Amino acid sequence: MRDKCLHRIALLPFTNWQEVPLLITPTGLRHTAPARDVFLTELLVRQIRHTSIVDFARRVVTGTSGPAGYGFDASGGTALPAVLREPPLTAPRHLLTWRTDPAAEATVTYTAEVQDYDAAPRTLVEDLPPIGTTSGPLSARTVTAPVTDETRTAGIEVTHDRTTARVDLGQALRGHRYAHRPDPASDEAHSDVTPRTAAAWSALRAPGLVWTQAGDVTLDATGQDDLVGRPCSAGSTRRTSPCAPPAVPLPGHIRVAPDRTAW
């Protein structure tokens, strides 16, 4: 009975829990008990951190801890946030999806390129060119960097007309976790105010974070696939608006609100 309870708790971080290869030792899953206690304590007493979910998931799969990150490689597969395989508006914010990958061997943690979010460079969206002619289809793919000290970074490369822009995957995923989704019945979801529009391609090519100081701005990603829209996901600038929710990704558009950023 105890192992059955441990088994259920061990699978909580995953969407496709049936496919996750848990580490089973001669004592079953009892080796996960200390990590389970830490995980459940944080889950019950505060808003759990994404890094805590990743650490617990890594422990139940590999039996080891590691640097704080947003996902990990392990022997035989990779665990990364579910939004990489599900629509951004419906994907769970914090859960991981296990993807089998025979090429994955060592245990490696995925970390963000910029650890100090507040110190990242910024570009005002008002300085971007207004949307003009349709930029045409953008293609996107995820790429990984070499492993350094048991960690690695990854990015989303978006290409248009033989030009490529790269966005840190960790920051794009952070934007999804903190994205604000208004209640469809609220006034916020049905505002009559028409925001300024900028091309998503211009935002993707801008240095660092894209943010605004003068009213809502829409980054137009109409007709592009979900992977193109993920780098435009907005995240709150905690220093300037510690209690304000970040912008909301809408189908085809990403809204950047004042004192908020997108990367």
Task: Write out the chain's pLDDT in tens, 263 residues.
Answer: 667 888 899 999 999 999 999 998 998 888 999 999 999 999 999 889 999 999 999 999 999 999 999 999 999 999 999 988 887 778 888 899 999 999 888 999 999 988 777 777 888 877 877 766 556 778 888 899 999 999 999 998 888 888 888 888 888 888 777 766 656 555 555 455 556 677 778 888 888 777 777 666 677 776 677 777 776 663 333 333 222 333 333 333 344 444 444 44
CA dist 78 → 41, 58, 75, 119, 129 (Å): 26, 10, 8, 30, 39
- Number of structural domains the chain divides into: 2
Q: Print burial letters for 93-123: b (CB count within 10 Å at least 16), e (below 16).
A: ebbbbbeeeeebeebbbbbbebeebeebeeb
The answer to pTM > 0.85 is: no
Among residues 49, 79, 110, the one where a domain terminates is 110
Pairing of strands 196-199, 217-220: parallel
Residues 229, 64: Cα–Cα separation, whole Å: 34
Contacts of residue 22, Cβ cutoff 8 Å, sequence gap at least 6: 7, 10, 11, 29, 60, 61
Statement to judge: residues 75 and 176 lie in one domain = no
Reported residue count of the chain is: 263
Residue 249 confidence (pLDDT): 35
Among residues 49, 83, 110, the one where a domain terminates is 110
Residues 168, 70: Cα–Cα separation, whole Å: 12
Residues 60, 82: Cα–Cα separation, whole Å: 18
CA dist 122 → 110, 231, 246, 248 (Å): 23, 15, 16, 19
Statement to judge: residues 93 and 137 lie in one domain = no
Residues 20, 11: Cα–Cα separation, whole Å: 8
Among residues 110, 130, 165, the one where a domain terminates is 110
